Amino acid sequence: MKKQYIVISSSLILALLFVLGVMLYNKQQIKKYGFMALENASTFVREHSPTLGNHDARVYLIEFTDPACETCSKFHPLVKKLMADNPGKIKLIIRYAPFHGGADYYVKILEAARRQGKYWETLEVMFQTQRFWTSHKNPQPDLIWKFLLKAGLDLPKIKSDMNDPKIENIIKQDLADAKTLNVRKTPGFFVNGKPLQKFGYKQLKELVTSEIKRNY
Amino acid sequence: MAELNQKTNTNWNIVFICWIIASVSTIGSLFFSEIMDLPPCALCWYQRIFMFPLVFLFTVGLFPFDKRIIKYALPLALTGLGFAIYHYLLYSGFIPESLAPCSQGVSCTETYIDLFGFLTIPMLSLISFSAIIVLLLILLRRNHK
């Protein structure tokens, strides 16, 4: 056999092995998460997790998010559009994965706002104004307070509530679950326990649609 | 003449095996980071820097066989091995992590993969670099005689 052919065919075999590995790995991951979703549903949805949408919806969209994550803020309107397009069928569950340095601070504010019944308004304001207080070079977390007024929050109360150790525990639990579920980037999506394999709106929409078809 | 031919063939095969090792290491490390989403730590990146080019160097050295490949590949492989040894020592606790350059971001000592109880990712890198170096040294000896 000519030497060129040996190298070319070896390259092809290696590439093939890689693709095969990807397929096997993905299949095994789906199986693993499916099993976890059955056996260990609480890893995906905790008692403390904020939810949005119809309580009886059969499609659970679980989002691991970070108030300081840019892609999360860009994705948020898309997630809401997905819910609006399928009224009553999707329940959004927010889990925290504050991977950005100092992002705990924003989650604490968010959880404190929840006690005032202004959770979703606050999340909205955070995502909209994020670029002003989370520059990667020069984060200015204190600037966030100016914008929080827009959500109609009682700021002194937020400042005292946000230091509640209960909130700290929520973050710890969510981070532990994120680790169990192999979430290393935000936003991390699961639909009824199935992970979003390849990140993108189109892919998320397909996954959600297939789950709606399966459950309705 | 036949003997000479035989010798060149073996030389070619040695570089070919080096190429296979470098390719498998490259593809494997890409699998870990891109498919399994394991974030490469700082030290992993340095080892990648010295492993990825070897694939291309060996390819060029194969067509036609060029023994100068030893001269070009060995410095990369040796430096890579240096990082791999350091990483391995860090990983197995011989060097305390406080001395490590990568305390921020991704930890260099977190265990992600552990096959058969000893095959961790730094171990795989160590094995690849060592194997390539040994093969190159064999090639060097063969061509010095």
Q: Which residues of B touch A25 (CB under 8 A)?
A: 31, 35-36
- Regarding whether A11 and A77 lie in a shared domain, the answer is no
Given a contact cutoff of 8 angstroms between Cβ atoms, the answer to whether A73 and A130 are in contact is: yes
Provide, rounded to the nearest whole percent, the portion of chain B with pLDDT above 70.
80
Collect the ranges in chain A with pLDDT lower than 70.
Answer: 1, 35, 38, 136-137
Instruction: Note whether ipTM > 0.90 here.
Output: no
Of B12, B27, B38, the CB nearest to A18: B27
- Regarding whether A99 and A14 lie in a shared domain, the answer is no
- Regarding whether A152 and A72 lie in a shared domain, the answer is yes
Q: Domain range holding A122?
A: 44-215
Length of chain B counted residue by residue? 145
Closest-CA residue to B9 (of B75, B64, B90): B64
- Regarding whether A51 and A33 lie in a shared domain, the answer is no
Q: Which CATH number goes with the domain that contains A191?
A: 3.40.30.10
Residue of chain A nearest B9, judged by CA positions: A3
Residue of chain A nearest B16, judged by CA positions: A7
> Residue A16's pLDDT is what?
94
CB contact under 8 A, A21 and B31: yes
CB contact under 8 A, B63 and A21: no
Task: Decide the pairing of beta strands A59-65 and A90-96.
Answer: parallel
- Regarding whether A75 and A11 lie in a shared domain, the answer is no
CB contact under 8 A, B24 and A10: no
Q: What is the pLDDT of residues B69-95, one digit of tens each?
A: 999 999 999 999 999 998 888 877 777
- Regarding whether A210 and A151 lie in a shared domain, the answer is yes
Q: Which two tokens stand for residue B79?
A: 């430096």
- Regarding whether A209 and A115 lie in a shared domain, the answer is yes
Q: Which residues of B touch A18 (CB under 8 A)?
A: 27, 30-31
Collect the ranges in chain B with pLDDT lower than 50.
Answer: 100, 102-104
Give residues with Cβ within 8 angstroms of B104, minimum separation 6.
none
Q: Distance, in angstroms, between B25 CA and closest chain A CA?
A: 11
The count of structural domains within chain A is: 2
CB contact under 8 A, A25 and B36: yes
Residue of chain A nearest B36, judged by CA positions: A25
Q: Distance, in angstroms, between A181 CA and closest chain B CA?
A: 12
Mutation to test the B interface, candidates A1, A4, A11, most B Cβ within 10 Å? A11
> Residue A84's pLDDT is what?
92
Q: Return the sign of the alpha-carbon dihedral for residues B38, B39, B43, B44.
A: positive
Of A10, A17, A184, the CB nearest to B39: A184
- Regarding whether A12 and A117 lie in a shared domain, the answer is no
Mutation to test the B interface, candidates A9, A179, A184, A199, most B Cβ within 10 Å? A184
Closest-CA residue to A15 (of B18, B60, B28, B62): B28
A interface with B, Cβ–Cβ below 8 Å = 3-4, 6-7, 10-11, 14, 17-18, 21-22, 25, 182, 184-185
SS3 B11: helix
- Regarding whether A30 and A102 lie in a shared domain, the answer is no
Integer Cα distance of A147 and A129 in angstroms: 7
- Regarding whether A200 and A101 lie in a shared domain, the answer is yes
Q: Distance, in angstroms, between B125 CA and closest chain A CA?
A: 18
Written as one string, the DSSP assignment of A159-183 is HHHTT-HHHHHHHHHHHHHHHHTT-
- Regarding whether A134 and A111 lie in a shared domain, the answer is yes
Give residues with Cβ within 8 angstroms of B62, minimum separation 6.
A3, A7, B12, B15, B16, B19
> Residue B113's pLDDT is what?
66
Q: Which two tokens stand for residue A139?
A: 């984060």
Spell out the domains of chain B, with CATH numbers in brackets: 2-144 (1.20.1550)
Q: Which two tokens stand for residue A14?
A: 């290696």
- Regarding whether A164 and A111 lie in a shared domain, the answer is yes
Integer Cα distance of A185 and A65 in angstroms: 9
